[in-house]
Structure 1
Amino acid sequence: MSDRWVPATPQEQSAMDVLAGVRAFSDAMERMHSGMKGDMDMNATDVAALRLMIMREQQGRAVSPHEVAKHLRISTASTTKLLDRLTASGHLRRQPHPLDRRARIVVLTDEARTAFYRHFGARLGAMRGVVMQYDEQELDVIARFLSEMGTAMDPDV
């Protein structure tokens, strides 16, 4: 393990402040997702699967059961149980892949989408309010920073 980093320059102190902000943001996100877990009577893996589905839907990407397993780092057997549970609870449905009828994809139901936005809607609005305080160039830098941080934290994504 490396020694604790002690900032020696103003830039290093600013970097330390940014990393502290990232940790605080990550903690706030975790608390927000924990609240959803309790409100929707789900476990952490169920909520993580729904978050993946929301993110991929916003990107216009289909999600295969294999992608769910890889993203959550769980076995295919665990993924099958998870998908069965979320299908039975009305959050997901399985359907044929639009380009390969032999393959299957999973999609959010309208009920899941409604529950997600009911739980997160006010918070998403508050976050949008914060984001809109920045100009385009600042937002470009922030978006690049967050993307690069995500890659640094999880290079497999």
Structure 2
Amino acid sequence: MSDRWLPQTDHERAVMRVLTSIRGMSDAMERMHSGMKGDMDMNATDIAALRLLIIREQKRALVSPRDIAQHLRISTASTTKLLDRLEASGHVERRAHPSDRRGRIVVLTDDARNAFFRIFGERLRAMRDMTMRYDEESLSVIARFLDDLAGTMDPVR
């Protein structure tokens, strides 16, 4: 167990301010995701799987059931139940992998994608509008910082 860190220099106080801001953003994201559970009538694991699919889809990355299991840190049996539930509710489809005959991928349905953006479109627009206030150089630094921070917190990403 480490001792509580008390910043002593201006630089350390600036670091503490950033870390405090990150905690505030994390709390706001958690509240937003909790709201999503109620709005979409799903549990937290289902929502986390859909978020993963949305993020990977934006990166044009394929997602296997194994990727979902690793991301959520759940067993393959739990992943199968999760995917059965999401497929039955019309949120995902399991398809053949385009280049591996033995593999399967999981994709969002248009209905799931539309529901997500219908429910969170206003929040996403507000976040985009706020971000537009920063110049390209600042945005580059912010993106690099957030990517580095995410890698520090979750090296598996």
Question: Taking structure 1 as the reference length, what is the TM-score of the superposition?
Answer: 0.99
CA distance in 2, matches of 1:119, 1:21: 26
CA RMSD, Structure 1 to Structure 2 (Å):
0.5
Question: Taking structure 2 as the reference length, what is the TM-score of the superposition?
Answer: 0.99
5 Å-filtered alignment, 1:97-112, equals: 97-112=97-112
Alignment correspondent of 1:81: 81
CA distance in 2, matches of 1:17, 1:25: 12
Counterpart amino acid of residue 52 in structure 1: L
Alignment correspondent of 2:122: 122
CA distance in 2, matches of 1:108, 1:33: 18
Matched, 1:154 2:157: no
CA distance in 1, matches of 2:128, 2:29: 15
CA distance in 2, matches of 1:120, 1:14: 32
Unaligned runs of 5+ residues in structure 1 are none
Percent of aligned pairs with the same amino acid: 67
Counterpart amino acid of residue 88 in structure 1: A
Unaligned runs of 5+ residues in structure 2 are none
Q: Residue 156 of structure 1: CA displacement?
A: 1.5
1:62-90 CA-partner distances (Å, limit 9, x unpaired): 10000000000000000000000000000
Q: Residue 101 of structure 1: CA displacement?
A: 2.1
CA distance in 2, matches of 1:8, 1:120: 41
1:47-76 CA-partner distances (Å, limit 9, x unpaired): 000000000000000100000000000000
Q: Which aligned runs of 4 or more in structure 1 are off by greater than 4 angstroms?
A: none
